[in-house]
Amino acid sequence: MRRRYTVVVFLVLASLDNVAAGLVPPLYKPIAREFDVAEAAIAAATAAAFLVTAVASVAWGYFGDRSDRKPLLMLGTLIWSTGTLGSGLAPNYGLFLASQVIGALGLGAVGSIGFSVVSDLIAPRRRGLIMSLWGLSQGVGTLAGGLLGGLLGAYEWRRPFFAITAVGVAATVAYLFTQTIHRGQSEPQLASVFAAGEDYDYRISRADLPLIARRRTNVWLVLQGITAQLVFGSLVFLPRLFQAKAEQLGYSEQVAIQVGSLYSTLFALGGALSIVGGLVGDRLQRRTPRGRATVAGVGVLAAIPFYLVVLFAPMRLDLHDGRDSVVWAVLRSVVTEPVMAASFLTAVVALALTSANAPNWFALITEVNPPEHRGTTYSLGNLANGIGRSAGTWLAGRTFDMLARALPPPMNFVVGIAAFQVFFIPTGLMFLAAARTSPRDIEDVRRLLRQRAEQPHAGAG
The pTM for the full model equals 0.80
pLDDT of residue 457: 59
Residues 6+ apart with CB under 8 A from 71: none
As a three-state string, the secondary structure of 390-454 is HHHHHHHHHHHHHHCCCCCCCHHHHHHHHHHHHHHHHHHHHHHHHHHHHHHHHHHHHHHHHHHCC
410: preceding bond cis by omega (within 30 degrees):
yes
Instruction: Quote the DSSP letter at residue 124.
Output: G
458: in domain: no
Q: How many residues does the chain have?
A: 461
CATH number at residue 160: 1.20.1250.20
pLDDT of residue 133: 78
Q: Which residue range forms the structural domain that includes residue 117?
A: 2-452
290: in domain: yes
461: in domain: no
Tabulate helix, strand, coil % of the chain (nearest 5).
Answer: 80, 0, 20
DSSP helix/strand/coil, 95: helix
316: in domain: yes
Which is it for the CA torsion 188, 189, 195, 198, positive or negative?
A: negative
> Using CA atoms, how far apart are residues 396 and 399, in angstroms rounded to an integer?
5
How many domains are contained in the chain? Answer: 1
117: in domain: yes
Phi, psi (rounded to 5 degrees) for 123:
-75, 150
Q: What is the pLDDT along the chain (461 residues), one digit of tens a residue?
A: 777 787 788 778 777 777 877 788 888 888 999 999 988 888 888 888 878 888 898 999 999 888 888 888 888 888 988 999 999 999 999 999 999 999 999 888 877 888 888 888 777 777 787 788 777 777 777 777 877 887 788 788 899 899 888 888 888 888 888 877 788 888 888 888 888 888 888 889 889 999 999 999 999 999 999 999 999 989 989 989 999 999 999 888 888 988 988 888 888 777 778 888 888 999 999 999 999 999 999 999 999 999 999 999 999 887 775 566 888 888 889 888 999 999 999 999 998 899 889 889 989 999 999 999 998 998 899 889 878 988 898 899 999 999 999 999 999 999 999 999 999 999 999 999 999 999 999 999 999 999 988 875 555 44
459: in domain: no
403: in domain: yes
| 8 Å CB contact between 74 and 113 | no
460: in domain: no
